Every structure is written in C-alpha cells, then in structure tokens.
Amino acid sequence: MEGRNQTRVTEFILLGLSDEVGLQSLLFWLFLSMYLVTFTGNLLIILAILTDSRLHTPMYFFLSNLSFSDICFISTTVPKMLLNIQTQSKVITYEGCLSQMYFFMLFGVLDTFLLTVMAYDRFVAICHPLHYMVIMNPKFRGILLLGSWVLCVLNSLLHDLMILQLSFCTELEILHFFCELKQVIQLACSDTFLNDLAMYLTSGLLGVVPLTGILSTYSRIVTSILRISSVKGKYKAFSTCGSHLSVVSLFYGTSLGVYLSSTASQNSRASAIASVMFTVVTPMPNPFIYGLRNRDIKQGLRKLFSTETFSA
C-alpha cells in the first residue's frame, strides 16, 4: 500500500470528441443547446406534476423522479465538457474525475431502476385496476424509490472505492469527454482484475435484471390487453404504456449501440462519439415523448404556464 500511494495523481486529461480547433465552437453550441433543451424540458415536466393536483398519482410520481434523474445524469458530464471547450482546457482533477464517475453511474443506473418500477406500475394499473391505488400506495412507492436509490448509491460507491486502490501511470489521457469507468481503469498501472470483474458483474446484473423485469412485465401486460373484448378498451390500455415503451426502447437501444460499438471498434474516439447518444441524446426526447403523447401532462403544462408563469 505504501508503494501504491507514492505517486499521487492530481489530474487527468480529457481529450474530448475532436482535436480540430474549427469544430470546438460547433460542439460547444451543439451540446449547450441540447443540454438546455433537456434541462428545461424535464424541469417543466417536474413543475407540471408538482403544481397540478390531478397528476399526483403513482405514475406521475415516478415520472417526475425520472425527469429529475435525467437532469442530474446529463449535468454530470456536459457542463464540464462545455467549460473545458470554453476555457481551452482539457484538465479534470482527480477528485473531480471520481465525483463525475460516481454521479454518472448513480443516475445512469437509477434510470434503469425507475424504468423498471414504472413498468411494474403500468402492470398493476392494467392487470389489477381495482386494486391499483391500494397496491401502489405512498408507502410502497417510497420503498421502491428508496430501494432504487440505495442500490445505485452502493454500486457507485463500490466502483469509486476500488478506483482509489489503483495506482496510475504517467499516461493520464482519457479518450473521452468525461471520466468513464472503463477508460479510467485502463490507465492504471496496478492489477485491475478485481475492478474489471466488479465492472462486468455489476453491469450485467444492473443491466440485464431490470431489462428482464421490464420484458416479463410487458409480456403479462400484453396478455392481459389481448383478453379485453373491445377494440377501444385495448387501445386505451395500450396507450397508457406507449410513452414508457418509447423511452425504454430509446434507453436500451442506445445502451446496446454504445456497448456494441465499444466492443467491435478498437478506436476509443469512435466509442466516445457513440456514447454521446446514450449520455446526451437519450435524456433529451423524454419530455417530448411524455409531453406530446400524454394528455394529462399537456393539460398540466397549460395550467403551469397559465396560472404561474404569466401571472408572475
């Protein structure tokens, strides 16, 4: 342990998406606009749910938490990248890198748990409508949310503590626009077997298990919908799942795309560009998906603007 602490790492170098000077201004305004759209859209969803008493239901309770998670998720990476572009600096401190990894993993995994919980919520609403409010009571909702947070915090804490045990070489350049766990582990000079093992095990468990839960839940939802005799009833039941299915497809589709691109390509820069889809693009359409497809959210937004924004 003494030899491991002799070379104290103080900072890493984030190489970003491109070295071309001409692209820096374009990247800055592109990512700034995407960040503002994501931040504003999700914030409006949260405010609409908080201010409209008709939206104080289990489904919108979890949706507001998903919007909050998306705001935090994109805020862990994009502001630092924008700052680096603006100041022409590529440096991130060691502590800043650990913090960025921690919160990136925390809110990224929290999204998967919230999507799983929302799938269960839709299952109860469609398959057990008469007992919906009894099952999805405030105490049970709180337990589901608290359990999701605890698991995500423990997962992020595990990886950060294991990173603290590594010693790093003089080559501290990260071919990414943020401190990604896999990239940081690859820079270590000490043995990373346990880090790699923990990374793949937790990625498998926290990725596959929630997805399996979502798929099994929706298989039972589809079976239940097919038993409905009227076409109107089937459409109404399926429409309540449409927004959630769109978000799940986008989330796991981009996640799979990033994973396949990182394994198929040896070019870390190409992998970094592909990860933009997951880290930046994925949270952006969520407010539009729920806002445009959901009548209650649209009414809540109208009420928000009519009673608060314009009166103020």
Question: 2 in a domain, yes or no?
Answer: no
pLDDT in tens, 167-181: 988 778 998 899 999
pLDDT > 70 in the chain, percent = 91
Q: Please give the pLDDT value at position 264.
A: 59
Question: 1 in a domain, yes or no?
Answer: no
What is the total count of domains within the chain?
1
Q: What is the CATH number of the domain that holds 93?
A: 1.20.1070.10
> Taking residues 50-59, what's their average pLDDT?
91
Amino acid, res. 28 = F
Question: How sure is the predictor about 1, in pLDDT bands with cuts at 50, 70 and 90?
Answer: very low
Question: d(Cα 35, Cα 38) in Å, to the nearest integer?
Answer: 5
Judge whether residue 74 has pLDDT over 60. Answer: yes
Q: Which residue has the higher pLDDT, 140 or 7?
A: 140
Asked whether the beta carbons of 38 and 70 are under 8 A apart, the reply is: yes
Question: 196 in a domain, yes or no?
Answer: yes
Tokens representing residue 266 in the block: 């040896």
Q: Please give the pLDDT value at position 32.
A: 95
Tokens representing residue 150 in the block: 């605890």
Q: Please give the pLDDT value at position 176.
A: 87
Question: 3 in a domain, yes or no?
Answer: no
248 to each of 65, 88, 114, 115, how far by Cα in Å? 15, 37, 10, 7
Question: CA torsion sign, 175 to 67 to 65 to 208?
Answer: negative
Q: How many CB atoms lie within 10 A of CB 172?
A: 17
Q: Please give the pLDDT value at position 4.
A: 41
Q: Which residue has the higher pLDDT, 226 or 237?
A: 226
Question: 5 in a domain, yes or no?
Answer: no
> Taking residues 201-222, what's their average pLDDT?
91
Question: 178 in a domain, yes or no?
Answer: yes
> Taking residues 67-91, what's their average pLDDT?
94
Which structural domain range is residue 255 located in?
Answer: 11-309
Q: Please give the pLDDT value at position 307.
A: 56
Q: Please give the pLDDT value at position 142.
A: 96
Question: 144 in a domain, yes or no?
Answer: yes
310, 305, 311, 312: which is closest to 52 by C-alpha?
A: 305
Question: How sure is the predictor about 265, in pLDDT bands with cuts at 50, 70 and 90?
Answer: low
Q: What is the average pLDDT value for the chain, to the nearest integer?
A: 87
Q: Please give the pLDDT value at position 2.
A: 39
Question: d(Cα 104, Cα 66) in Å, to the nearest integer?
Answer: 15
Judge whether residue 64 has pLDDT over 80. Answer: yes
Asked whether the beta carbons of 198 and 158 are under 8 A apart, the reply is: yes
Judge whether residue 65 has pLDDT over 90. Answer: yes
Q: Which residue has the higher pLDDT, 233 or 71?
A: 71
Asked whether the beta carbons of 179 and 264 are under 8 A apart, the reply is: no
Edge-to-edge strands, sheet with 11-14 = 91-93, 11-14, 173-174
Judge whether residue 27 has pLDDT over 60. Answer: yes
Q: Helix/strand/coil (H, E, C) string of the chain?
A: CCCCCCCCCCEEEECCCCCCHHHHHHHHHHHHHHHHHHHHHHHHHHHHHHHCHHHCCHHHHHHHHHHHHHHHHHHCCHHHHHHHHHHCCCEEEHHHHHHHHHHHHHHHHHHHHHHHHHHHHHHHHHHCHHHHHHHCCHHHHHHHHHHHHHHHHHHHHHHHHHHHCCCECCCCEECCCCCCHHHHHHCECCCCHHHHHHHHHHHHHHHHHHHHHHHHHHHHHHHHHHCCCCHHHHHHHHHHHHHHHHHHHHHHHHHHHHHHHHHHCCCHHHHHHHHHHHHHHCCCCHHHHHHHHCHHHHHHHHHHHHHHHCCC
Judge whether residue 5 has pLDDT over 50. Answer: no
Question: 6 in a domain, yes or no?
Answer: no
